[in-house]
Amino acid sequence: METRKRLLGSDHPDTLTSMENLALTYQKQGRWSEAEGLEVIVMETWKRVLGEEHPDTLGSIANLSVTYRDQGQWKKAEELQLGVVNITKRVFGEEHPYRLFSIVNLAVIYQMQGRWKEAKELEVMVMVMTKRVLGDEHPHMLTSILNLASTYWNQGWWKEAENLQVRVMEMRKSVLGEDHPSTLTSMAHLSLTYRYQG
């Protein structure tokens, strides 16, 4: 990052990418203030250089939102992520993958707060749109089903979670095979659901 700053300047895309990567490293270490400091700089620079609606700017806003979310700063996280959801809808359209990912991130913020109803509504919406855009067996579709299953699971709605997990496991078996790591992960999650039901 320092070498790129010196050679390319602070506003160069490669420098900003290095800053984002370092911020992610800090984030994974729980060094929140260092991560947040870099992410704010990156976000403000992208806004100034590329504009608020550019995908790199939106990505940087989402990264900062995750840092706030992981610290339990729900209001800040939600505000930023709602902004990304609204901008991606206006710029890319309602069913664009950027928008769907931004909605998933917002649902996670709600899920982590125990705001199950709001999380569920967003997850169902993403599932419906993903199915329409990408089809039943696309990996993003399976992930959206598992997100909803997770919301059910965290509320102790075992049967609802089980039904979705079985669906994903069967699709993964069919598409990827029984020995694929994603299939095995699905089986492991389903076994936990069975265990919690006795």
Q: Write phi, then psi, for 12 (nearest 5 degrees).
A: -70, 140
Instruction: Tell me how many domains the chain contains.
Output: 2
pLDDT range class, residue 166, cuts 50, 70, 90: very high
The mean pLDDT of the chain is 94
Distance CA 162, CA 28 (A): 31
What pLDDT score was predicted for residue 27? 92
Q: Residue 16, SS3?
A: helix
Distance CA 182, CA 198 (A): 25
- Whether residues 59 and 46 share a domain: the answer is yes
* Contact criterion met (CB below 8 Å) for 137 and 175: yes
For 25-44, write each residue's pLDDT tens digit.
999 999 999 999 999 999 99
Using the predicted structure, report yes or no on whether residue 140 has a pLDDT greater than 90: no
Domain ranges, residue 139: 118-198
Using the predicted structure, report yes or no on whether residue 49 has a pLDDT greater than 90: yes
CATH of the domain at 82: 1.25.40.10
- Whether residues 153 and 82 share a domain: the answer is no
What pLDDT score was predicted for residue 137? 84
pLDDT range class, residue 134, cuts 50, 70, 90: confident
Of 44, 79, 113, the residue that ends a domain is 113
Of 113, 148, 172, the residue that ends a domain is 113
What pLDDT score was predicted for residue 139? 86
pLDDT range class, residue 54, cuts 50, 70, 90: very high
- Whether residues 48 and 132 share a domain: the answer is no
DSSP label of 12: S
- Whether residues 20 and 107 share a domain: the answer is yes
Residue 179 CA, chain-centre distance (Å), reads: 26
Using the predicted structure, report yes or no on whether residue 21 has a pLDDT greater than 90: yes
Q: Which of 61, 53, 60, 64 is nearest to 96 (CA)?
A: 53
Using the predicted structure, report yes or no on whether residue 149 has a pLDDT greater than 90: yes
Using the predicted structure, report yes or no on whether residue 24 has a pLDDT greater than 90: yes
- Whether residues 152 and 108 share a domain: the answer is no
Of 72, 96, 113, the residue that ends a domain is 113
- Whether residues 38 and 22 share a domain: the answer is yes
- Whether residues 96 and 172 share a domain: the answer is no
